Structure 1
Amino acid sequence: MANKPRFFKPSRQTAKRQLPAKPVEAEILNFSHDLRGVARIEGKPVFIDNALPGERVRFRYTDRRARFDEGQLLEVLEPADNRCAPRCAHIDACGGCSLQHLQPAAQIAEKERILLDQLSRIGEVAVPELLPPLTGASFGYRRKARIGLRVQRPAKGRGESKSSPVFGFRAKRSNELVDIRECHVLHPTVAERIPELRQLVAGSEGRAHFTHLEVAVGEDAAALVLRHTRPLSEADRRRWCQFAVDSGLHLYLQPGEAASAHRVWPEGGAERLSYSLPEFDLTLGFHPLDFVQVNFEINRQMVARAVALLDPRPGERVLDLFCGLGNFTLPLARHAGQVIGVEGEGALTARAEENAAANDIDNAQFVTADLTADMRGHGWASGGFHKVLLDPPRAGAVEVLPQLARLQPQRIVYVSCNPSTLARDAGELARLGYHLQRAGVMDMFPHTAHVESIAVFEPVL
């Protein structure tokens, strides 16, 4: 007994056994930041998937923590007016999209509420003018996705002898895969072939060494990138190539996480897909593993809005930070005197230069640089800039903002994929002398809690 620890911390499994066994009824009061329904039981918040404010529901506890609990919806006793029937059979488990039970217009309203709340609460800034939301098709929009592949080992004691593949997306708040047979947000070019792809994976000798399929759908073609940790057998290679020929999907193999993907069908030609921005007479090429916006319809609207808000003029120099393959840089170049696109990843900078040449644009320059380092020592920054466009990753751009303030641009347009970091950066810009003028949401990811937004800042006079 002398070695017995003074304190015993129950394991997660032990804590699970202490959950209330009986279902609980509750009223859903509001939404959480990730758009789960929130009830209060004895003053403590409970986050419940698929529940909507104003509903009375029956749920069971799935987790209890110090500051909040979590629950699983069992039954909607009194539905909200904005509830609708989800189209997907996997809505309860799959984390790919989680809001199909909420009408699209209500989703937009909630995303606007989140944006305004984050700007006010985190950034301590108000929005003088709320821009109209950018919306498009709510299904079949997703042109980039990663489908996880895993082999499910046979359960002991059940008499099963053959392993079965799991084909799908991660579960909600988990790294576990949900085996799917349909996906309504994925572009139909690939979504309609999910049954065939499942059979293809199941029939492959090396399926235990497959980790995922990258899906990329351009306007001209679609591609699959199979990531596998061991070389394919000749039979598997023939099987996958035949599927590519029959389906018309381009096939790439990636033999390891660090290895580059190479196309095996069709043979020859540039390894590129493409999308267009007709308003600017542009076609941009991309590799299937490049970052591009997943929703081409919203991307077109977003680019047009960003250019209109920035309003570049023929005699002006414009800076596009986190420029990627030129999604904003090249449209801006159609109107500005000169545009400098800066990106941290050299492969994307090379792609941007390729796209500029393909579209006969000679007033755009692309630079690979550390975006957190001081810009003032670089020749491309020495001429100053009239206007700036920012499109940072989820972490935001707080390290860059003091440098931008020193450049004293007349206007900054900030495109954000994370309202909390936009709010933080809006507060920092306010301290640096830039006032938030307008902001609005863009529904890049319908049926998800993801909030894409755009904001305009100008110097305080």
Structure 2
Amino acid sequence: MNGPGTLVTVEIETLAHGGDGLGRVDGRVCFVPFALPGDRVLGRVNRRTPSAWWATLLKVERPSPDRVPCLGGAAVRAERAYLWGCLAYPAQSEWKRRIAADCLARIAKITPELRLVEDPSQRLGYRTRAEFHGDGEDLGYYAHRTHDILPMPRCPLCHDRVNEMLAELAPLKVRGSVTVTVHPETGEALIWASPATGPRLAGHFQNVNWPGDGRPRARFEMDGVPVVNGTFCQSGLLLNRLLVREVRAMAGGCRSLLDLYCGNGNLSLGMAREGVRVTGMDHAGEAVDAARAAGAGDYLRGGEEAMARAVAAGGHRVILLDPPRTGAAALTPALAAADAARIVYVSCDPATLARDLRALAAGGWRVSDAAVLDLFPHTPHLETVCLLQRD
């Protein structure tokens, strides 16, 4: 029997993009979440295609040298929420660099040197933003790739203030999702809730919003950038400083910058305040409006068609883009022909980054500097920043 339910023993050779362990069974690729390179594991096949199998980890028969207690033993009750919780930290950062390098080599056909940027002081307690889920009884994270709620009194990856908010929310029998965002230095807290839960939470907490509530969005400022309830921000606002620093360095002291997918101005508001002529554009209206209200730079609402027109119009020495996980395929024709001196591309998905870099190579753009940033310790998520210049 080779179908779903088959028991397989797998020697895990590597980690795949997305974080699953990868080995082979009778020559066929087999993905096993929570398995680590060097593990020999027993798994149960739960899905198969002609080219690959997926298996649920049942037992670690021989542990990898890099296997450690989940988050140092701090996450015993909710291990299924932390895909890389049992991977030793030095190995985590190196695997992130390898995963990014593999995507660039396979898809973009390039092999740039990738610098690794991390902050050893921010490996636990770094998350200033976390989404929790409730079913009316329990509140916690979803187990990996399921909607099974894992109740927990605290998350070791979260800032103390987030955990305080979690403890206050838990007795309220939350139903639906709740995202808590906190200022790591002042303790200010925002709550973004599902419509079914938001009105009730507003009776217990300040700064609560939900989709369609019609009230002004609560917000605070971090490093001079507005953080607006219900809009995107990095999950670790202190680690975000590493990203801002890398972008500024790659922008090279420019005098004019076009910031695409700018959001709340996270990567460019600081430069605008220092006199750089910044034009920012994004479809995320609430965030863009907050950036514009900061009084520095010209931040505009606009989708990808408007962004492409802005690129074609020219006049900016540096083009900065930080697209969503799906990448910026709609903009690559305009970017390939851009008259800028530099492109700084920030990506949370090395596969779509590699796809777009391959398209930009048609316009003569080459990666001259690249860094992998670990903004999400103990998870497979990574951020890659590339500086592109023409031959």
Structure 1 residue runs without a partner (length 5+): 1-14, 152-164, 202-206, 245-249, 264-270, 277-282
Give 1 or 2 for the bigger CA radius of gyration.
1
In structure 2, do the counterparts of structure 1 residues 175 and 304 end up closer, same or farther at CA, with 3 Å as the change threshold?
A: same
C-alpha change, 1:57 and 1:194, in structure 2 (3 Å) is: same
The answer to whether the aligner puts 1:42 opposite 2:26 as a matched pair is: yes
What's the TM-score once normalised by structure 2's chain length? Answer: 0.89
2:84 matched to which residue of 1?
99
| Contact map agreement 2:332 2:359 (CA 8 A) in 1 | yes
1:409 pairs, out of 336, 340, 343, with 340
1:351 aligned counterpart, secondary structure: helix
The Cα of 1:230 is off from its aligned counterpart by 7.5
Counterpart in 2 of 1:140? 125
Q: Any residues of structure 2 matched to 1:170-319 within 5 Å, and which?
A: 170-201=142-173, 210-218=175-183, 219-220=185-186, 221-229=188-196, 240-241=203-204, 244=205, 250-254=206-210, 257-260=211-214, 271-276=218-223, 283-313=224-254, 316-319=255-258
Aligned partners of 2:374 and 2:383 also within 8 Å = yes
Residues in 1 aligned to 2:240 and 2:373: alpha-carbon distance in whole angstroms? 9
Partner residue, 1:398: 329
Query: Cα distance 1:230–1:327, how it changes in 2: closer, same or farther (>3 A)?
Result: closer
Determine helix, strand or coil for the equivalent of 1:57: strand
- Cα RMSD (Å): 2.6
Report Cα offsets for 1:404-441 as digits up to 9, x if no partner: 33331111111111111110111011111101112121
**After TM superposition, where is structure 1 displaced by more than 6 Å over at least 4 residues in a row?**
none
TM-score, reference length from structure 1: 0.76
- Relative to structure 1, the CA distance from residue 285 to residue 194 in structure 2 (aligned partners, 3 Å threshold; closer, same or farther) is same
Aligned equivalents of 1:437, 1:57: Cα separation in 2: 41
Identity of aligned residues (%): 30
Deviation at 1:386, TM superposition (A): 1.1
Tell me, in whole angstroms, the C-alpha distance in 1 between the residues paired with 2:201 and 2:64.
51
SS in 2 for 1:331: helix
Give the match for residue 387 of structure 2.
Answer: 456
1:119 counterpart letter in structure 2: L
Q: Distance in 2 between matches of 1:19 and 1:368?
A: 50
Local SS of the residue matching 1:350: helix
Contact 1:387 1:412 in 2 (8 A): yes
Pairwise CA distance, 1:72: 2.8
**TM-superposition CA deviations, 1:43-70 (whole Å, max 9, x none):** 2222222221122233334444443223
Q: State how many pairs are aligned.
A: 384
Structure 1 residues 404 and 63 mapped into 2: Cα distance closer, same or farther (>3 Å)?
closer
Q: Deviations over 1:83-141 (max 9, x none)?
A: 111131245422xx3101111121111111111111111111221x3223233412111
Q: Which residue of 1 aligns with 2:300?
A: 367
What is residue 19 of structure 1 aligned with on the other side?
5
Helix, strand or coil: the match of 1:28? strand
